[in-house]
């Protein structure tokens, strides 16, 4: 008897479902960063607004990368429904706290998929996910460093102005 399930798709139903959930999480992240960019722009933090616009684009690219992988492997990619995006933030610092929380949640989510891939011996998807694990090293580093600027520079006087000017200069080098 032919294995029609395997012929149709390389992905198991569980891995496909997890990847589709990740698509939704990346889309959610992209939308949240866009909302953060809007808040920063409205409150005069131009440097931070640019930073979050770029972050939003990156998350969108991640979303599409996973989306295309699901399709390429014969799965059904589901375009996510995104709602309940936070619009208002209490403080400038809160924006960056939320950004770090977001990246940590994404990293944990990828770890969960990787664990499932190990369990199912899906080394093809595992190899695909390695890129995202490397990417998360950078994402978390940048989000953590951004938040640390509030401690290093301080929030008094021209602190917010300095933080806003330096946000875009945070770079990660794995070497």
Partner 1 sequence: MLGRDRFDTTELIEVFVTAKGSIYQSDVENCLYLTFSGKTSRLSFQSLNDLKKIIDKVDLGHMCTLIEHADIEIILLKDNCFVLSGIEIIYLKEILQGAFTMFRLNHIITDCLDRLVIS
According to CB under 8 A, which residues from 50 to 79 bind partner 1? 76
7 binds partner 1 (CB under 8 A): yes
Q: At its nearest, how many Å lie between partner 1 and the CB of residue 65?
A: 23
**63 annotated among ligand-binding-site residues:** no
154's CB contacts (< 8 A; 6+ apart) are: none
**120 annotated among ligand-binding-site residues:** no
10's CB contacts (< 8 A; 6+ apart) are: 73, 74, 75, 122, 124, 125
3 binds partner 1 (CB under 8 A): yes
Give me the sign of the Cα torsion angle 87, 90, 93, 97: negative
**97 annotated among ligand-binding-site residues:** no
Q: How far apart are CA 73 and CA 77, in angstroms?
A: 10
81 binds partner 1 (CB under 8 A): no
4 binds partner 1 (CB under 8 A): yes
Calculate the dihedral angle through the C-alpha atoms of 145, 150, 151, 156, rounding to the nearest 10 degrees.
Answer: 160
The nearer residue to partner 1, 7 or 87, going by C-beta atoms, is: 7
User: Residues marked as binding?
Assistant: 26, 59, 62, 103, 136
Chain contacts with partner 1 (rule: CB under 8 A): 1-8, 76
């Amino acid at each position: 008897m032919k294995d029609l399930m395997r012929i149709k798709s390389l992905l198991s139903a569980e891995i496909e479902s997890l990847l589709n959930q990740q698509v939704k999480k990346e889309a959610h992240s992209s939308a949240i960063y866009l909302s953060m960019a809007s808040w920063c722009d409205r409150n005069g933090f131009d440097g931070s607004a640019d930073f979050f616009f770029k972050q939003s684009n990156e998350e969108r690219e991640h979303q599409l990368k996973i989306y295309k992988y699901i399709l390429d492997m014969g799965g059904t990619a589901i375009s996510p429904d995104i709602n309940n995006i936070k619009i208002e933030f209490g403080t400038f610092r809160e924006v960056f706290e939320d950004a770090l929380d977001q990246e940590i949640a994404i990293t944990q989510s990828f770890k969960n998929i990787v664990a499932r891939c190990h369990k199912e011996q899906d080394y093809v998807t595992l190899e695909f996910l390695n890129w995202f694990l490397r990417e998360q090293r950078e994402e978390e580093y940048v989000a953590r460093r951004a938040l640390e600027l509030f401690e290093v520079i301080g929030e008094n006087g021209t602190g917010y102005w300095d933080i806003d000017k330096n946000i875009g200069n945070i770079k990660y080098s794995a070497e």
